[in-house]
Amino acid sequence: MSQFIKQSVLAAAAALTLAASGANATTFNFYQAKTASNLLDSTSASVSVTSGGLGLTLAPVSSSSSAKVAQRYDGIGVSTGLLSSGDLDNGDTLLLTFSQAVTFSSLGLSSWDKGLFGVGADKVSITTGGQTYNLTAGAESNGVTTFSLASLNLTGVSFLIKAEGTSSFRLANLNVSAVPEAGTSAMLGLGLVGIAAVARRQSRKAA
């Protein structure tokens, strides 16, 4: 087998492995340094952002017709009117819709109250594909409590983030990995098969 074919096989195999594992890790960060321009909430019916070529739209899910997405320096929440804190609280829910299927790696929340020895701690749930997972314990650093979700294998296009009970917090950041489209993996796989076939033919001729 020629050196070129060997290198091509290795490159194609590496690309296929990356595609299969959804290696395009993307971070969406909503937690910013406090400035005069982001001190107060800005509200809108929805917020759309893009990171690493991946699109994300956030919208409130509420029985209130006045519910809007609220965004300021410490993250994103839901506003239901003039007296609303703008946080995700008392059952407020955010709908996260991505431009393609993703797998959740972690979720970061600001203003998280861990309670006293766990009593009165905030609670958040994340729902996708009809399955709901409740999260209560995360790692706090620099004002953001991060929950690792890798072990849950949460994969989908749409996710619901809900403040359970009397909890109150904001969405500070999230990390996801894009799931490769089936066509991309199929083409990479066919390419690898083709390279291997050429290598076999050349080996036979050499023999």
Q: Specify whether 148 is located in the same domain as 69.
A: yes
- Could you read off the pLDDT of 84-131 as tens digits, one per residue? 899 999 899 999 999 999 999 999 999 999 888 767 789 999 999 999
Q: Specify whether 117 is located in the same domain as 188.
A: no
Cβ count near 16 (within 10 Å): 18
**Radius of gyration over every alpha carbon of the chain, rounded to an integer in angstroms:** 22
- Could you read off the pLDDT of 33-62 as tens digits, one per residue? 999 999 999 999 999 999 999 999 999 998
| Owner of token pair 């083709």 | 194
Q: Specify whether 117 is located in the same domain as 190.
A: no
Q: Specify whether 135 is located in the same domain as 92.
A: yes
- DSSP code, position 119: B
What is the count of structural domains for the chain? 2
Q: Specify whether 54 is located in the same domain as 121.
A: yes
Q: Specify whether 109 is located in the same domain as 153.
A: yes
Q: Specify whether 121 is located in the same domain as 201.
A: no
- Could you read off the pLDDT of 122-137 as tens digits, one per residue? 999 999 999 999 998 8
Q: Specify whether 166 is located in the same domain as 192.
A: no
Q: pTM for this one?
A: 0.77
Q: Specify whether 47 is located in the same domain as 67.
A: yes
Q: Specify whether 17 is located in the same domain as 29.
A: no
Q: Specify whether 129 is located in the same domain as 36.
A: yes
Q: Which of 202, 168, 23 lies closest to 88, judged by CA?
A: 168
The continuous run of DSSP H or E covering 25 comes out as: strand 24-29
Q: Whole domain around residue 17: which residue ranges?
A: 1-22+182-207
Q: Specify whether 49 is located in the same domain as 76.
A: yes
